[in-house]
Structure formats: C-alpha cells, structure tokens
Amino acid sequence: MTTYKAINLVARPTAGPVGPDLFEVVQKNMPEVSDGKFLVKQSHMSLDPAMFGWMSPDTESYIPPVALGDVMRSSGIGEIVESNHADYKVGDRVMGMMGWQEYFLSDGAGLNKVTAPLPAEAILSVFALPGLTATQGLYSIGKPKEGETIVVSGAAGSVGSIVGQLAKADGLTVIGIVGSDEKADWIVNELGFDGAVNYKTDDLATKLAELTPKGIDVYFENTGGPIQHHVFDRMNAHGRIAVCGMIADYPKETPDLAPNWIPIIKKRLIIQGFTMPDHFGEVPALLAKLTPYVMQGKIKHRAHVLDGLESAMTGLNLFFTGQNKGKLIVKL
C-alpha cells in the first residue's frame, strides 16, 4: 500500500446539518517512518459534540479551530504497524488525537499507550474523553452529595450516561433528560437512573416537578434547549450547574437565550463552564477517581458504531437528531 485515505476540513459549518460539502476525502502518501517515529494504523475514531466547536471559525474558543485544508481533528485508537522508536513497538495499542485518517505518524507526543485488555469501543466510551469529561465536571463543579438530586441533560449520551451512573453510585437521586422512550428505558432500566424525562413528548414542567419533589441541587448541562429553563426554575439554594455542552444550540444561527439571572442571586447559584483541554494535566487523577467505579461494574456503556472513514462526515448529524444510541464511534 503506498497511499492511505484522510478527510480534510475544507469549509466551515453554518447553521443546519453538516455534510460532505464541508470535507474533502484525499489520498495521502504513506510516510517514511524515520528514526524516533512510529506509524499507527487507526482502528476506531471517536465522534464528539466538541467537534462543532473545532470546525467553527471562532478564534476565542479553548483550542484553535481546525485550519481549512487540514485533516479533521478527532481522537481515536489504533495499533502500531511500524516503529523506529525505542519506547513503542509494533503491536502496541495507542490512543490520542489522530484525526480523520487511516494512518498516523507520531513521535509519541500526545499519545497514550492502551494496556487495558478491553475492546476499543469500551476504551473510547469510558476511559477516553467521555469518562474524563464526566468525572471532571461532576466532581469539580457539581460537587455531588449523598441524598441530593441531580438532573443530567443528554442523559443517554456518552458523557451524560457516565455522569448519571457516577452520581447514582454516590447515593444521589438521578434524573435524566433524553429524546426518546427507548433512551428513557435504557437509562432507567439498564443504567439505574431514578427517572427520565422525554423532552420531545413529556410535559416538561409537570414531569420534572413529579420526578424532583425536593428540587434540584446539581444540573449537568449537555444540551441547552427549552428544558434548561424548567430545570433552572427548580434549582435549590446553593445549586451547582456544570455547563458541558449546548448541542441543541450549536446548529442555530441565533442561539436561544438563557434564563434571567435573578434566581442566581436569590438561590446563590454557581454556573460554571469547562472543557477538558484545561484539565489534561489532571487526567491521571481523573482516571484514578473513575476506575474504581468501572471495576465495580457500576459504569455501563453502549457504543453506536458507524462503518468506514467516510461515515464520519454525516455521522456527526446524529448528535443533532439524537438518533445515536450511545457513544458514536467510527470503525475504520
């Protein structure tokens, strides 16, 4: 094989669905693996809502946007197929930001070896960005206490499902917001959430009041959308809101406005946003916090696997339609 496939970002998304017109599939020449380098054959790539931020031209975001003409940014997992690096040998599995491409040449910077004997889907679903994000936001901002009530939006998503299970293991009442009865069933009957609101069919105010009779102490926000106002209305004094994602608003030309700030004073709320790149230095501590829950069988996951590199281009839209069931992963 002398060439491999990659997908470059060639246009910026506007409001509405993203599609192949933003991207260009290219053939790249197989690189030479010089001294101190190794070549990874990527087997699985992660699709994440954060990608909409990476594609947008917003220079104020937490990491620079992907430059037009560059390979689209993504994290993934793969196996080393050729090595001239003393610390990495053929057959080692590695994980990191390798982008939308079949092969990745590296000197090791930014990649982590994967030694756990787990399938790639499990690694990307729990120990990669979703689990780290859930752990960071829940504990550093949400500060959950036994007996409290937490509401998680995007509760069947890769981050939300882990947040809810961690909180449940810690003794909180856990309510999830989802977009289908199938997801509601999954988070309640499989993951052990105490209740679910289907934001598409339930009467939001009534259902939420019924499920949170003692009010809401922690809100883990993954979506935005109208439900935000109803949750906000039920926050208890000294409530904490971790703002992790606003997927309902990313595709809108003019994002919806948020609740008025008067209750922030009356209830002394804290609303705090976070993104993982600020906390990459804390990854060992986050993994140390997360791993015992996983080892005790308290964190279940499910992966929604798309087939083939090109499926990434349209697969991203599943975040908007909510049709993904579990962590979106592209199998190469």
In the complex, the smallest distance separating the C-beta of residue 214 from a second copy, rounded to whole angstroms, is 13
Q: How far is the CB of 301 from a second copy (least distance, A)?
A: 23
Q: Provide the pairing of β-strand 3-9 with 23-29.
A: antiparallel
Region 30-59 residues binding a second copy, contact defined as CB under 8 A: 53, 58
Residue from 43, 61, 140, 311 in contact with a second copy (CB under 8 A): 61
The reply on whether position 243 binds a second copy by CB under 8 A is yes
- Looking at the Cβ atoms of 78 and 225, the one nearer to a second copy is 225
What size, in residues, is the chain? 332
Going by C-beta distance under 8 Å and a sequence separation of 6 or more, which residues neighbour residue 61?
53, 54
* 73-102 positions binding a second copy, by CB under 8 A: none
Find the shortest distance in angstroms from Cβ 159 to a second copy.
12
Give min distance, CB of 102 to a second copy, in A. 31
**DSSP-assigned letters across all residues of 30-49:** PPP--TT-EEEEEEEEE--T
Residues in binding contact with a second copy, number by CB under 8 A: 37
Give the chain's end-to-end CA distance (angstroms, integer).
16
* 138 scored as a contact of a second copy (CB under 8 A): no
CA distance 262 to 274: 23
- Of 51, 228, 293, 312, the residue at the interface with a second copy (CB under 8 A) is 228
Residue 307 in tokens: 């087939």
Per-position b or e across 219-240, b if 16+ CB within 10 A of its CB: bbbbbbbebbebbbebbbeebb
Show the binding pattern over residues 206-225: x = contacts a second copy (CB under 8 A), - = does not.
---------------x--x-
CA distances from 278 to 97, 132, 135, 265 (A): 16, 12, 14, 28
Packed helices 158-169 and 129-137: angle between N→C axes, nearest 10 degrees: 50
CB closer to a second copy out of 192 and 273: 273
CB within 8 Å of 58: residues ≥ 6 apart: 65
Smallest separation, CB 286 to a second copy (Å)? 16
- Report the run of H or E that residue 217 belongs to, with start and end: strand 216-221
Cβ distance to a second copy smaller for residue 34 or 272: 272
Q: Choose between 271 and 328: whose C-beta lies nearer to a second copy.
A: 271
* Residue 191 C-beta: closest distance to a second copy, Å: 25
320 interacts with a second copy by CB under 8 A: no
* Per-residue contact string for residues 246-285; x = within reach of a second copy by CB under 8 A: x--xx----xxxxxxxxxxxxxxxxxxxxx--x-------
Nearer to a second copy, 36 or 263 (CB): 263
- Count CB neighbours of 211 within 10 A: 20
Query: CB-wise, 261 or 280, nearer to a second copy?
Result: 261
Nearer to a second copy, 200 or 252 (CB): 252
Closest approach, Cβ 53 to a second copy, in A, equals 7
Contact between 210 and 187 under an 8 Å Cβ cutoff? The reply is no
- Exposure string of 308-326, with b = 16+ CB inside 10 Å and e = fewer, is ebbbbbebbeebbebebbb
Provide the binding-site residues for a second copy, judged by CB under 8 A.
53, 58, 60-62, 221, 224, 228, 237, 243-246, 249-250, 255-275, 278
